[in-house]
Structure 1
Amino acid sequence: MRISGFASGMDIDTIVKDLMKAERMPMNKLTQQKQLLEWKRDDYRELNKLLTDFRNLSFDMTLQRTYSQKQVTTSNTKVSAVASSTAGNGSYTISNVQLATASSKSSSGIITDRASFDSDKSIWEQRDLFNNWTTNTSSTYAGGELESKTGFIQLDGLVDVNKMPNTITGQRMVDGSLTSFTYNLGEDVTLDEKSGRLVFKEPLEAGSTIQGFTYENYQSTLSITTYDETGRELKGEFTLTGSKTMNQLMSEISSSPIGVTAFYDDYSGELKMTRKDAGALVGVDGKSFAISDGFFKDYLKLDDTEQTGQSATLDINGISTTRKSNTFSINGVTITLKEDMPETATITVNNDSEKTFGAIKNYIEKYNELITKISEKTSQAVYRDFKPLTDEERESLSEKQIEQWEEKAKSGLLKNDSILTSGLGKMRSNFYEPLAGASGVFNQLAQIGITTSVNYRDGGKLNINEEKLRQAIEKDPSSVMELFTATGSDNSSQGLARRLRESVGATIQQIEARAGNTSRNNQQFTIGRELLNVDKRISTFEMRLQQKESRYWRQFTAMEKAINISNNQSMQLMSQFYNNG
């Protein structure tokens, strides 16, 4: 119990709080130190993200495809074309086009009563609508001892209750002993036709045995085989379960790898399959489809008749040829035929210098953004009088005042940072150094219109003479590409993008060693270890503060008790003097 000023009349609570404020001053310095470390860590990581993005962009700039973009034009909308970066420049004339057609197969007639059949309901439950759908398989349930408590027996295939034996016999485990039983189908055991299960009304205990029996079932496995351009088989297996609908079966076929679109037409009562790829995609027997016997042929009426697809015929640069598909490639140019075309279309392939220009311009702009951000962070003013705010200080300020204060408190945390300034210097020197051993006409960026700003306040930003850069790309695109992508044994013989990728990567590693990343724990980087040390000191100091506060209260409590005793003694003396008179 804490006694607060009952005897002395002093405001002990306020006195202790004021005393603890003085005691907490070192603690405030520790929390401020922790906050500064966290802000510094976050600043490092923010810059590291920018560096990582630029390193990834530098990798893209080392790839040939960045500088070898192709521009394709066609004189007729009935033909389209796309060129890869390896396609050669040139032109192609396409004429006398007859498109490839896709193979298809349809039911030879109405498969069932259109008015009664529902394609969204179980096919099996509507089997009476398929004339003469009969069993074609005899199966045997082997029987034997049940391993665990169960309430059903799983049968194979599609099973009709009328094709089952009338009784199921076996021995049932009751209180540790076997008792023979004979169950009547429909009374003691029922058939769930959707799942193919014989369900017992009372589950059988482990150890019970079922005697084997023979039953008749219907075909449930269906197969379709198609062929690719090389004649290789593409086989799909489909299972007709008791709950599967016609629409579900069609969807399963269409999403399988056999390359077929299948649908059931409720209006005509027919099923149709069409190859997704056009062309004469046939097997050794000259057919595009191989359909399994049974349900597909007997009841869905998919016989061997089909509309075989045809290859595309056309003239390329005056030479008649055929293609199995409407899409094909010539020397890295992918051509797509869209319509029959007796007239002529011209396809022209040229270098797309504008895309190369755009890629280089974007790269330089991202570099300028990066060095500007780093320069700003390493040259910010330091406001030593603005320390991180304590909780009590925050309570007395508005949100706007807090924001303005912290803006100054965060300023200059990375001023003249050695990692960042060193990394910035390496990036700048990479731009200035010519490419040793260049095989083209250009060996430095100034020759293609990329120069350093003459204004020292720009911090080494690059300027682009867009007209000169475009002229260089048109004049010698290979030499421009070499400036950025060249491989070499040392820094001077490497292209600019490769140099920057390596130097930026080294800076990233140094920053991660100091400030870590989201995947590292505090023990794995310098600032993290400093934070752990500060947290430990804060925890220790907090315990000391609690002990001091308790000591203050003990002292004031003792004082209150002493004053109370003194007051009591004074009252007793006064009373005695008064009574003695």
Structure 2
Amino acid sequence: MMDRMRFGGLSSGIDTHDMVDQMMRVERMRVDRFHQRSQTIQWRQEAAHDMNKRVAQFILDSRQNFGLNQVSYSGQLRASEVNRFDWIKSAQSSNEAAIRARADANAIEGNHEVKVNKRANVGSITSQSLKEKKIASEDGRSFDFGDDETRDLTIRVGDSLQTFTVENGSSISSLATRIRNATDDSGNSLGLNASYDANFGRMMITTRETGKEQHFQVMNTDLGSEMFSFDNDNEVEGLTTVHQASIGLDDYIDENGKLMEGTMLRINGDEYTIGNGDGEYSSLQEIMDQINKTEGFTAAYGNGVLMLSREEDGSGAFDVELNHEEINDGVITTITSDEMDVINRSGQDASIDFNGETITHHSNDISIFGINLNLEAGAQAEDVININVATDTDGMVEKIRGFVEDYNKLIDDVNEQLKAEEYRDYKPLTDEQRQAMSDNEVEMWEERAKSGLLRNDDSLSRMLQNLRVGMYEKVEGATGAFNQITQLGITTGNYQDGGKLVIDEDRLRDAINEDAEGVVNLLFKTSSEDDPAARRSESGLFQRMSDEMVSGMQDSVRRLGVGEHADKLRSVQGNMLVEFVTRNSGLSVSDRDIMSIDQQINRQEQMLMRREEQLWAQFTAMEKAMAEMNSQADSLQQQLMQL
């Protein structure tokens, strides 16, 4: 309809607007049919997208439930993941307060004797009472040094040196937070935890991980000497005396944060130079790595300071020379080490005797021969705990039953869509029809209109048929006693059930007791073949199911598009949408149909505009003619009246 205002019927008395609207309503029925076709396709797309989402979610949930958390980009199951299934075998501990045990599919069955020698621990240090040391406020919440000077706490972790500058009156808990969040110059966490208890006025610092490789040092400098005890008379654990030299490198660092080329360090005659020549080093890190390989010496860096240490072993002090020809006119700077007390804290490795053999590990979670042992706080030295590993028949039956139940629910959903009644008389409502109905009537109408949109859908029907066939095909190359799913007591029901699975649990238990590994192989065997037919024949049941479902989803995507679930589909198989995007430019058949219909709608709208213009022109011409005729009649009447 044209936008400009029109007046009609002034001469004829005819309601021109109503006449044109009535005539155009018939014309617009063709456009309404195009809109209805487009809406039906969009609804069909939404129904297909929802079904693809359900299929994808079934695959993802099944992988999660089975423990198949990693699948290759092309959808290939990883055999190593199958080996780590923790529902194939059970591990029973005779003392779960000491050891909790879990077994994966490769665990050696039988009874295993375990003796816990020691549990793994973190490295830790606890400060003295900051209140008693007179460096905390009365409520214990903030530092109170009695002056306005700052204090430094220096901690070394590996080759990273961290100095925490603390202001008088600052929160003590905030220092703990800074220690927890501290990183080295590369942005990597120092791996420390710290907490402060204001009631007791003490701070604890620990390594985050357990094991003897986890360690740190607290330096006897400034705030460190006030917070922690460095008194040899108190036999402080880990307290040692070292010779130490701190070298400021700020003037030798370039704009990229690296030690300038040509910088030379000489430590007791051993020379280290930054450069590209033979015998030179490309970075400060390389120099520190080399120093740390030197017996007795350690190096750490942080906040622009290189700290070199050597344990007090009778070797005495050492000298460090620093030089660069462009700094300080090339004059060599010499630093002589001083004695320094440090407190070393290291974690502890766990140690167990497993069937008489001593095993050490950095954590209390130890995996050996497919058995995972978690050492609990109740473990006592010299106690012998028996770990019995056996096939978990009940667990396997329950896991397979749960999978079959979920599969059957999905098959019900698919069959419901394939068999849903289609109400051909219920087309999408036009705007005019919608306005004439209540919200409840619209909802009920659209429920009928959307029914049966996937009735006899090719993609779903083909997927369902291939799933049925795949159930009965032998698995080529299967190891163990079984090569067909029916040998496990798993079959499809009668035809009316639409491909749902039925389990004979007695036969399944017998199969598991006969050859549990053979059951797992039949269900989860993988194939490295690229050819689909060869891959199918060599794949176990789960891989076959997944492949057929992926194929069905890909076919549906080609026809009806991806919708809002692209990420979920890629989670199932990383390359699922590659062909669709590259070959079809991300447009499905239905997308192109909608685009074609939209073009037809645009053409029809243009035709309607021209038709409406034509009708108005005709009525306007009629009104003009009638106006002239009325004018002539009035003139004639006036002439006759004058006679």
Scaled by the length of structure 1, what TM-score is found?
A: 0.72
Whether the 8 Å contact between 2:154 and 2:221 is mirrored in structure 1 is no
Q: Which residue of 2 aligns with 1:563?
A: 626
Counterpart residue identity of residue 32, structure 1: Q
Q: Which residue of 1 aligns with 2:505?
A: 466
Q: Which residue of 1 aligns with 2:134?
A: 112
Q: Which residue of 1 aligns with 2:391?
A: 351
Q: Which residue of 2 aligns with 1:341?
A: 380
Whether the 8 Å contact between 1:113 and 1:129 is mirrored in structure 2 is no
C-alpha spacing 1:394/1:421, structure 2 compared with 1 (3 Å): same
**CA distance, structure 2, for counterparts of residue 420 and residue 470 of structure 1:** 33
**CA distance, structure 2, for counterparts of residue 101 and residue 51 of structure 1:** 46
Counterpart residue identity of residue 368, structure 1: N
The equivalences for 1:371-450 within 5 A come to 371-450=411-490
C-alpha spacing 1:524/1:325, structure 2 compared with 1 (3 Å): closer
TM-fit CA distance, 1:254: 3.3
The equivalences for 1:356-371 within 5 A come to 356-371=396-411
C-alpha spacing 1:37/1:473, structure 2 compared with 1 (3 Å): same
Deviations 1:326-351 (A, max 9, x none): 55444332231313536554332333
The one of 204, 217, 223 equivalent to 1:296 is 223
Percent identity between matched residues is 30
The one of 119, 125, 128 equivalent to 2:146 is 128
Show structure 2 runs of 5+ residues with no match. Answer: 69-76, 183-188, 239-344, 567-580
Q: Secondary structure at the match of 1:341?
A: coil
Larger Cα-atom Rg: 1
Q: Which residue of 1 aligns with 2:25?
A: 21
Deviations 1:135-193 (A, max 9, x none): xxxxxxxxxxxxxxxxxxxxxxxxxxxxxxxxxxxxxxxxxxxxxxxxxxxxxxxxxxx
TM-fit CA distance, 1:27: 0.6
1:499 equivalent to 2:544? Answer yes
Deviations 1:250-307 (A, max 9, x none): 122234544544334434444443455566667xxxxx54113423333434537337
Whether the 8 Å contact between 2:176 and 2:196 is mirrored in structure 1 is yes
Q: Which residue of 2 aligns with 1:207?
A: none
Counterpart residue identity of residue 569, structure 1: Q
1:237 equivalent to 2:124? Answer no
**CA distance, structure 1, for counterparts of residue 440 and residue 432 of structure 2:** 16
TM-fit CA distance, 1:423: 2.2
Counterpart residue identity of residue 423, structure 1: M
TM-fit CA distance, 1:502: 2.2
Counterpart residue identity of residue 303, structure 1: F
TM-fit CA distance, 1:527: 0.5
Q: Which residue of 2 aligns with 1:8?
A: 12
1:43 equivalent to 2:36? Answer no
Q: Which residue of 1 aligns with 2:299?
A: none
**CA distance, structure 1, for counterparts of residue 410 and residue 360 of structure 2:** 54
C-alpha spacing 1:6/1:360, structure 2 compared with 1 (3 Å): same
The equivalences for 1:204-215 within 5 A come to none
1:478 equivalent to 2:514? Answer no
Q: Secondary structure at the match of 1:346?
A: strand
Deviations 1:345-375 (A, max 9, x none): 4332333333322332233233323333333
**CA distance, structure 2, for counterparts of residue 345 and residue 313 of structure 1:** 14
**CA distance, structure 2, for counterparts of residue 2 and residue 12 of structure 1:** 9
TM-fit CA distance, 1:501: 2.3
Show structure 1 runs of 5+ residues with no match. Answer: 134-217, 227-232, 283-287
C-alpha spacing 1:80/1:129, structure 2 compared with 1 (3 Å): farther
Q: Secondary structure at the match of 1:476?
A: helix
Whether the 8 Å contact between 1:106 and 1:302 is mirrored in structure 2 is no
Whether the 8 Å contact between 2:119 and 2:375 is mirrored in structure 1 is no
The one of 529, 547, 561 equivalent to 1:516 is 561
Moved more, 306-315 or 102-111: 306-315
Q: Which residue of 2 aligns with 1:189?
A: none
Whether the 8 Å contact between 2:93 and 2:101 is mirrored in structure 1 is no
Whether the 8 Å contact between 1:95 and 1:314 is mirrored in structure 2 is yes
C-alpha spacing 1:313/1:365, structure 2 compared with 1 (3 Å): closer
Scaled by the length of structure 2, what TM-score is found?
A: 0.66
**CA distance, structure 2, for counterparts of residue 235 and residue 259 of structure 1:** 11
C-alpha spacing 1:274/1:49, structure 2 compared with 1 (3 Å): closer
C-alpha spacing 1:394/1:311, structure 2 compared with 1 (3 Å): closer
Whether the 8 Å contact between 1:377 and 1:412 is mirrored in structure 2 is yes
Q: Which residue of 2 aligns with 1:254?
A: 180
TM-fit CA distance, 1:530: 0.8
Number of equivalences = 477
Counterpart residue identity of residue 453, structure 1: G
1:88 equivalent to 2:151? Answer no
**CA distance, structure 1, for counterparts of residue 58 and residue 448 of structure 2:** 29
Whether the 8 Å contact between 2:36 and 2:427 is mirrored in structure 1 is yes
Whether the 8 Å contact between 2:113 and 2:385 is mirrored in structure 1 is yes
TM-fit CA distance, 1:103: 4.6
Counterpart residue identity of residue 627, structure 2: N
